[in-house]
Amino acid sequence: MEEQSEIQFNRAATSVGKARAFIRAALPVEQLRDRIDDITLCVSELANNAVQHGTPAGHLFCVRVIVNETLLRIEVHDAGENRPQLRSPEDDDLSGRGLVLVAALADDWGTAPRDGLGKIVWVEFKVLISMPVREPLPC
């Protein structure tokens, strides 16, 4: 059985923390305790990228969580056309490490075109979950 939940956010720095809270509220955290910090960090990085680079002014971005008994997929949908690129930042670079972290922590990640305008950036985690996704708390 597959369950999903999603929420839209404004293009604002405060939305990154709200995206983290949404994920923690939507998932059975106790069953994911070995991976919840990795999951939360990946969501934070993808949401931050959507705010900083992907979501044009006046648009929203969406965070969707899809989970079944063995796989957790998190998608961040935005209206931006630029696809994120995995970089090799130098030690003194101030940015460029977000997707490096995502690639190291997630079991898989990638991008896909979105119907209409924009893209989807997704991460997947192989998990074992025996209960349905909980309803998220309001942001």
CATH of the domain at 59: 3.30.565.10
Cβ neighbors of 57 (< 8 A, separation 6 or more) are 11
38 in any annotated domain: yes
Q: Residue 127: pLDDT above 60?
A: yes
The predicted structure's pLDDT at residue 95: 62
137 in any annotated domain: no
The predicted structure's pLDDT at residue 134: 56
131 in any annotated domain: no
35 in any annotated domain: yes
As a whole number, mean pLDDT of residues 24-43 equals: 92
135 in any annotated domain: no
Q: Between 128 and 106, whose confidence is greater?
A: 106
| Widest Cα–Cα separation across the chain | 46
Q: Residue 4: pLDDT above 80?
A: yes
Give the 3-state secondary structure of residue 136. coil
44 in any annotated domain: yes
Asked if residue 29 lies in contact with residue 36, where contact means CB atoms within 8 angstroms, the answer is yes
As a whole number, mean pLDDT of residues 15-30 equals: 93
113 in any annotated domain: yes
Mean pLDDT score of the chain, rounded to an integer? 87
Q: Which domain holds residue 96?
A: 3-126
68 in any annotated domain: yes
Number of domains in the chain: 1
> Does the predicted TM-score (pTM) go above 0.85?
yes
The pLDDT confidence band at residue 18, using thresholds 50, 70 and 90, is very high
Q: Residue 88: pLDDT above 80?
A: no
